[in-house]
């Protein structure tokens, strides 16, 4: 059985592309059914070029966050996902959205959670003088960068690292880890309770 994956993005979509490639190679028992963004971005353009269904649900087009969240939830639900992946989606998902996909909603975060949650995780790791950081894939709950951790990958911080260089190395780790986690999820080898 092939699982249906919906990917949420806000920018370049490199993790989405890595996942699509892994699906096409047969490494992941599923396909990216749709890519949904909160703004028009490079990742949407790349998904369209690959023939993947896309949607842009911009908060500015809605009266308030709740209405936007409901529209986002309904659009994602319309693609009948077995798994929803937040991969560089730079908005906090509302409880209404999280609850709709609670047992099949995961996030990719560029740190070894619980260290360095939030939008500036790479910068925060450098400023803290950490010797390593990495990436975490976890189930999403009602708190930011929180919820049962599924898998992590470590990335060393080297002496001449700046934010851009470190982020690129973290992305390389993410590009390997995301297909691996999607695979074990779609095979039923990890659940929210077994995390």
Q: Give pLDDT tens digits for 103-155.
A: 999 999 999 999 999 999 999 999 999 999 999 999 999 999 999 999 999 99
Does residue 120 have an active-site annotation? no
Is the pLDDT confidence value at 42 over 70?
A: yes
Give the pLDDT band (50/70/90) at residue 57. very high
Statement: residue 1 has pLDDT above 70 = no
Choosing among 3.50.50.60, 3.40.50.170, 3.30.43.10, 2.40.30.30, the CATH entry for 3-186 is: 3.40.50.170
Among candidate residues 109, 120, 146, 175, the one labeled active-site is: 109
The pTM is what?
Answer: 0.96
For residue 191, what pLDDT band results from cuts at 50, 70 and 90?
confident
Kindly indicate the confidence band of residue 21, based on its pLDDT and cuts at 50, 70 and 90: very high
| DSSP states of the chain | -PEEEEEEESS--HHHHHHHHHHHTTSSSEEEEEEEESS--HHHHHHHHTT-EEEE--GGGSSSHHHHHHHHHHHHHHT--SEEEEES--SPPPHHHHHHTGGGEEEEESS-TTSS-STTHHHHHHHTT-SEEEEEEEE--SSTT-S-EEEEEEEE--TT--HHHHHHHHHHHHHHHHHHHHHHHHTTS--TTT-
Decide if pLDDT at 195 tops 50. no
């Amino acid at each position: 059985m092939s699982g249906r994956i919906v990917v949420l993005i806000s920018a370049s979509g490199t993790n989405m592309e890595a996942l699509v490639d892994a699906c096409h190679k047969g490494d992941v028992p599923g396909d990216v059914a749709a890519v949904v963004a909160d703004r028009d971005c490079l990742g949407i353009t790349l998904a369209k070029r690959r023939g993947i269904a896309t949607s842009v649900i911009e908060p500015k087009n809605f009266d308030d966050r709740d209405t936007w969240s409901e529209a986002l939830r309904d659009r994602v639900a319309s693609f009948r996902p077995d798994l929803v992946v937040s991969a560089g989606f730079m908005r906090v998902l509302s409880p209404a959205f999280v609850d709709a996909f609670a047992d099949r909603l995961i996030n990719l975060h560029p740190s070894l959670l619980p260290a360095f949650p939030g939008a500036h995780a790479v910068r925060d790791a450098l400023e803290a003088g950490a010797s390593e950081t990495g990436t975490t894939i976890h189930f999403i709950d009602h708190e930011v960068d929180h919820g049962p951790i599924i898998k992590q990958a470590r990335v060393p911080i080297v002496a001449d690292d700046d934010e851009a260089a470190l982020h690129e190395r973290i992305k390389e780790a993410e590009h390997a880890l995301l297909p691996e986690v999607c695979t074990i999820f779609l095979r039923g080898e990890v659940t929210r309770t077994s995390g």
